Amino acid sequence: MLARLTAGFFVALTAIGPVTAAKADMISEEILSGGAPRGRAPGAFGSFFGGGYYSSSPIARTTVSYPINEAPGTIIINTAERRLYLVEGGGQALRYGIGVGRIGFTWAGVTRVSAKKEWPSWTPPAQMLRRRPDLPRFMRGGPENPLGARAMYLGSTLFRIHGSNEPETIGQAVSSGCFRLTNEDVVDLYSRVRVGAKVIVRR
């Protein structure tokens, strides 16, 4: 039953500018290390091997007034607020707390959800393995996988909307451009979002 409560998101970017190999490398490394909160250095695998895999978010998921001229099912990410909104129609949206990119790694643009996968496996890119030969060459999907319980892949880039078992990072700017939710929240979001849904990222 628990195995069915995880999955992956990848979303295609359309208006955010080029992603360099070096930047993509850093994005992948951030996923593995977990992205340490301020004042705490990440370990080799962050705290992905610890407890709290389905901890509740410190920012409660809630329905809010959100008048906007976008179709229901659209995802709006407000980086400055560190919130993700799923438009429900009728002037309302479901709001989630998220972790966002740290200074120098934020971006904005319009994209689409291109795929949804459950328990995605992870293969470090070659440029990361050259710098971090200690890393595993492959990780199967599961509770120890750094992609979390769900992950939205962002097209052909390495940006994602993904889960995390580090609830203390929600509401903080700690990633290299990915958007993270608690695993509990990303499971909920995954169940509501279709492939092809519009995604708007605002700084």
| Residues 97 and 114: beta-carbon distance below 8 Å | no
**Exposed/middle/buried for 148, CB within 10 Å: 0-12, 13-18, 19+?**
buried
**Among this protein's residues, is 176 annotated catalytic?**
no
Task: Please pick, among 83, 160, 162, 180, the residue that the annotation labels catalytic.
Answer: 162
Q: What is the DSSP letter of 56?
A: P
Comparing C-alpha atoms, which of 147, 140, 130 is closest to residue 187?
A: 147
**Structure letter (DSSP) for residue 168:** G
Q: Which SS3 state, helix, strand or coil, does residue 93 take? A: strand
CB 68 within 8 A of CB 198: no
Number of H helices and E strands in the chain, helices first, is: 3, 12
Instruction: Give catalytic status of residue 156 as yes or no.
Output: no
Choosing from 32, 36, 178, 197, which is the catalytic residue? 178
Tell me, letter by letter, the H, E, C secondary structure of 6-46: CCEEEEEECCCCCCCHHHHHHHHHHHHHCCCCCCCCCCCCC
> Catalytic amino acids?
162, 178
